[in-house]
Structures are given as structure tokens and as C-alpha cells.
Structure 1
Amino acid sequence: MAVDPSGTTLSAALSEVPDGPVVMLNLLRFAPDGRSSYEEYSHRAGRFLRKYGAELLYAGDGTTPLVAEDGQDWDAVLLVRYPSREAFGRMVADPGYQEITHLRARALSEAVLQPTVPWTSGRDA
């Protein structure tokens, strides 16, 4: 299963709606004994979030899902706000950040990394 964005998917995501902030949804499934590696990654990644103007909005553990098919539950959820898709792209391309990505890859058996944008005003909820 994929845990890091590929060049193709990253390029496509960065080319969409380039202006304005983006909130990245992170759905994480840890590999056996992967949580400690992810905690180390998170600790070291904080420096890069600050450098590129990003902010961790929420991090939490998943509990029993109310609506989900078998296998659709997640160990953890994170929401990270970036000032722009371009800032996210610069961060993941940073050589210093690249040096710590192995910690994230080793920690996860599966992940979803999905950019989101705010609904426009007037849209029905």
C-alpha cells in the first residue's frame, strides 16, 4: 500500500487550485510497532511545518467507527493546514525533510493523504 505521494500524484495535486490555504487530511494505519517511528517523524517534521508556514490543526487516535466497512477504520487522523499547495510542495522537496521521510514510511502500513479546500460560502451543508 502507498504511504507517500508519488511524483505523478504530487504534481497533479499541486497543480489544482494553487491559490489559498489547503488542509491536508492524513488517515494513518500503523505498521506493527510503527507508532514510535511515527512519533519520531512527527517530532522532527514539526520544524519543517513551521519553516513552511504550516500548522497542525488536529491529531487524534481513531476509535470504533460508527459507519465503516470492514478494514475502513484508521489508527490515527491528522489535519495539517498549509498556506498553499505550493508551500506543501516546497516542504516535501526540502532535502532536510527528505532525510526524515523514511521514518514515516517505516511507521505506516497504509495511509491516505488528501488535500482539502474550504467550501465556498453559500454552499449547502
Structure 2
Amino acid sequence: MTVFIDPSRANFDAFKALPRDEPIHMLNLLRYRDQADYPEGHENAAKGWTGRRAYEEYGKTSGPIFRRVGGAMVWRGLFQTMVTGPDEERWDDGFIAQYPSAAAFLEMIKDPDYQRAVVNRTAALVDSRLVRFEPQAAGSGF
């Protein structure tokens, strides 16, 4: 089974080729490591954190940057069961983050404080998905 933590160059180039001045929603699906995997010598490496705890640290340290660029959580949930899809594809958490624009998302990930914080995300996850969506009107129909 192939796992994904960071975007491939081709996927990131496709993201950047889309409009940057429109609101976006980013679907995040997360599967945590049992034990966080920090680089040797990192300040959190010897703390014995679980992947979930390392991701909480990522949220704590990246949250101010996320909010500064106008990011907001629009939905969050805990995985229960796969209804349609591969049985082996299970997730611990999922959420949708809203950004005022793709440019805001790019501003966030280029921020030096964010780049220091993202080490916690990498240490936390064994697999993930990050999917960009164009927000549409919600309602009672499909």
C-alpha cells in the first residue's frame, strides 16, 4: 500500500496552476503513527509522543499562522467506518479547512514558523490525503 505525507511535485504544481484568488476548501484525512517519528535531535524526539499527540502539537504551533492567513475549520470528524472504498483505507481524523484563497494557503506554508511547525505533522502521520475543492453552495439536495 502506498502512503502519502507530502504532495508530489506534480500534484503541487497542479495545485499552483489552479486559480489563486478564489476561496478553497481542503479536505484532510489523517492516519496517525502509533509512535511519533521525529528526526534525531529534534526537541520533541525523546518525549515519547503518540502520532496523535504530535499532530496536536502541529495544530498548536501552526494554528496562529493558519488563522492569520484567514483559515478556518468548517468541519471536523472522527472516523467510524468505510462505507464505500477500500476496507484497508481507514482514517483516524478528517477535517475541512477553509482558506480565503489558494494564495493564503501558499502564504501559510511558506511562513518560516509554519515550516518549523510542519515537522510535527510529518512525525505524526503514517498516511494522509489533502484534497483541494472549490466551495459550492450547500443545501438539502445533492
Shorter-chain TM-score bucket reads 0.7 to 0.9
Mapped to 2, the partners of 1:5 and 1:54 lie a distance apart of 20
Q: Structure 1 unaligned segments of length 5 or more: list them.
A: none
Mapped to 2, the partners of 1:110 and 1:66 lie a distance apart of 19
Mapped to 2, the partners of 1:38 and 1:91 lie a distance apart of 17
Query: What's the counterpart of residue 13 of structure 2?
Result: 11
Mapped to 2, the partners of 1:4 and 1:104 lie a distance apart of 10
User: Which of the two has higher C-alpha Rg?
Assistant: 2
Q: Residues 7, 68 of structure 1: CA spacing in aligned structure 2 closer, same or farther, 3 A cutoff?
A: closer
Displacement after TM superposition at 1:22 (Å): 0.1
Q: TM-score, normalised by structure 1?
A: 0.88
Displacement after TM superposition at 1:68 (Å): 2.6
- The count of residues paired between Structure 1 and Structure 2 equals 123
Superposition RMSD in Å: 1.9
Counterpart secondary structure, 2:119:
helix
Q: Percent identity?
A: 33
Displacement after TM superposition at 1:81 (Å): 0.2
Counting only pairs closer than 5 Å after superposition, residues 1-125 of structure 1 correspond to structure 2 as: 1-32=3-34, 33-119=50-136, 125=142
Q: TM-score, normalised by structure 2?
A: 0.78
Displacement after TM superposition at 1:7 (Å): 4.5
Displacement after TM superposition at 1:4 (Å): 2.0
Q: Structure 2 unaligned segments of length 5 or more: list them.
A: 35-49
